[in-house]
Amino acid sequence: MAGERKSQSGEERLIELFRPMAKNPGAFALLDDAAVVAPPPGSDVVLKTDAIVGGVHFFHDDPADAVAKKALRVNLSDLAAKGAEPLGFLLTLLLPAEADEKWAARFARGLAEDAEKFRCPLFGGDTDRTPGPITISIAAFGHVPRGKMVRRAGAKPGDLIVVTGTIGDAALGLMLRREPGNPTFARLDSAARSQLADRYLLPQPRNAIALAIREHASASIDVSDGLAGDLTKLAAVSGVVASLNAKLVPLSDGARAVLQAEPKLIEQILSGGDDYEIAATVPENRLGALQAAASAAGIGLTTIGRIEQGEGIAITGLDGKPLTLRRGSYSHF
């Protein structure tokens, strides 16, 4: 009947939660089948998608706002490593029947905060029921000047290997979350324990130095599957050896304390994953400029090794001897 109003469906109520963060005019306030984005003239659109699944990438009782932020940040981290500035994202949110509207509201609140913080507005999405766990897939878009995306390819013998922030915290945070009674963590005070746990809960992507990476790095990769494994991938595509000194890898106080108690956890630190830092290679004469940009952005940047001729990865362990890891990087299969 003409003019008749239907009561809002659950799907429409969900969309209402997300509408406020669809601020770009190209999102058409989520009132169309699709969105449009006009990248700056002369640019490439950088495309990335990454999903997180309840019970696999986050715990079922993680706060909904943190889950939302993790879902977006794992994608933002790739844009940062590629030297791209965010344009926006598309969201797929699959909810089991037991996820209530309170959960969804808190999820939307967290997502809105990060969309604002990282200037990465929502362009559209899809919400559906699933008989499985909460599942979020985000496709994020960024832009770089044409041809300027920083690749995994491009590292040259003589380049230095640098990494942002600290490595291993998230992997140790996950261990701690899974085994809260593990004696290795006994010497940590509660601040150090929460710092490790927080790094697993909430990645800190390094978008603030994306432009400096684009300007100075010869190659770059998002550290998400473990530093050693990700550098192995970068080295393979570049056709070089990544030569890495474990002693130089930047550690938080918490990770350092854990490592003192249990030196073999160097394996976990180097290959555990979920760091969401940037590992980049940089010609020696560009290091100063990159370092200065990182300092200005308040982001730590540490030289951990050097690119050499050959193929693969060579790690010098804490004892000064060559270190072979049991597994290079994380694979879900």
Binders of a copy of itself in range 36-55 (CB under 8 A): 36-39, 41, 43-51, 53, 55
Smallest gap, in angstroms, from Cβ of residue 235 to a copy of itself? 9
Say which residue the tokens 């879902």 belong to.
71
3-state SS, residue 302: strand
Smallest gap, in angstroms, from Cβ of residue 328 to a copy of itself? 6
Per-residue contact string for residues 159-178; x = within reach of a copy of itself by CB under 8 A: --------------------
Joined tokens for residue 178: 């899974």
Per-residue contact string for residues 294-323; x = within reach of a copy of itself by CB under 8 A: ----------------xxxxx-------x-
Smallest gap, in angstroms, from Cβ of residue 107 to a copy of itself? 14
Give the number of other CB atoms < 10 A from CB of residue 60: 11
Joined tokens for residue 293: 């940009």
Q: Which of residues 226-245 bind a copy of itself (CB under 8 A)?
A: 233, 237, 241, 243
154 binds a copy of itself (CB under 8 A): no
**Cα–Cα distance, 57 to 51 (Å, whole number):** 9
57 binds a copy of itself (CB under 8 A): yes
13 binds a copy of itself (CB under 8 A): yes
List of residues 6+ apart from 124 with CB closer than 8 A: 22, 27, 30, 34, 35, 90, 91
List of residues 6+ apart from 117 with CB closer than 8 A: none
Strands 160-164, 219-223: pairing is unpaired
Q: Which stretch binds a copy of itself (CB under 8 A): 85-93, 177-185, 210-218, 297-305?
A: 85-93
191 binds a copy of itself (CB under 8 A): no
Joined tokens for residue 179: 């085994």
**Cα–Cα distance, 108 to 226 (Å, whole number):** 29
Q: Which of residues 104-143 bind a copy of itself (CB under 8 A)?
A: 123-133, 135, 137, 139, 141-142
183 binds a copy of itself (CB under 8 A): no
